[in-house]
Amino acid sequence: MSAPVNIDDWQSKYEETDTFTIVKLYGDHAQIYDKVNMGDHMDIVNALTIDSVLKYIPDKQTRALDFAACTGLFGEQLHKYGYTNVDAFDGSAECIEECKKKNIYTNFLVEFVSDKQLHIPDDSYDAVVCVGGFSKNHLPISTFSEWVRILKPGGYSINSFRLKWLTVEPMYNEGKMLAELERLEKEGKWKCISREEDNEKEEDKRFVKYIHQVV
C-alpha cells in the first residue's frame, strides 16, 4: 500500500502523467484518499456545489449520478442533506469499492471515460453532479455530450472544478471547453442556467461551477 501523500505531492504526481495512469494512481491511493490532506479547498467546493443541489434538485428522491465520484467524499455531502437515490460512477474500481463501504449509494458503475459512449442508457438520470472531475488529465470534454444523453429532459448537470484548468489543461484551454458547452447550447441540447465562481482570492485555488439543464 502506498504511503499517504499531501495535496501538493498528489497534484505533482497526476500533473506529470496521462489519463490512464491517473486512474491507477487513484486506485493505488483509494484506501487512504479520504485521509489525504486536501486542505480547505474541498470544504469550499463542497459548499459551493451543495448549495446548487439544494436549489435546483429539491426532491431528495431524485435519481442522481455522482459522476467521477472517486471515494465518495461529495456523495457523503449528498447523503448528509438527505439525498438517498444517488449512484456512484468512477473509472477506478478501487475507488468504487471505497464508495460501497460508505453505504450512501444505490448503484455503482465502473467505466473509463473516453470519446466512446458510456454503458449507461439514455434518459437515465434526473441529475448529474460532478465535483473536481475536470482537472489535469481527467475527464474529456466529450463528457458533456454524454451527460446530455443520460439526463432526462429537464434534468440538471452541476459541475464544479478549479478555474485554472480552463487555461492550463490542453484538453480544455484556448476556449475548447467553453466552445463545447456553447455548441451543445446552440444545438438546443441544453441551456446554461448559471455560472458562478467562489470568493477565493488566490486564483490558483478558485473554483467555478456550471449548471446546465437539458432541454
DSSP characters over the chain = -PPP-BHHHHHHHHTTS-HHHHHHHHHHTTTTGGGSB--THHHHHHHHHHHHHHHH---TT--EEEET-TTTHHHHHHHHTT---EEEEES-HHHHHHHHHHT--S-EEE---SSSPPSS-TT-EEEEEEES-SSTT---TTHHHHHHHHEEEEEEEEEEEETTHHHH-TTTTTTHHHHHHHHHHHTTSEEEEEEEE---SSGGG-EEEEEEEE-
> Does a structural domain hold residue 203?
yes
pLDDT at 48: 86
> Does a structural domain hold residue 6?
no
> Does a structural domain hold residue 25?
no
> Does a structural domain hold residue 14?
no
> Does a structural domain hold residue 62?
yes
Give me the domain span that covers residue 82: 40-214
> Does a structural domain hold residue 21?
no
pLDDT at 41: 60
CATH code of the domain in which 138 resides: 3.40.50.150
Each residue's pLDDT expressed in tens, for the chain with a length of 215 residues: 444 455 556 556 656 566 667 777 776 776 667 666 455 566 777 888 999 999 999 999 999 999 999 899 899 999 999 999 999 999 999 999 999 999 999 999 999 998 899 999 999 999 999 998 998 889 999 999 999 999 999 999 999 999 999 999 999 999 999 999 999 999 999 999 999 998 887 777 889 999 999 99
What's the structural domain count of the chain? 1
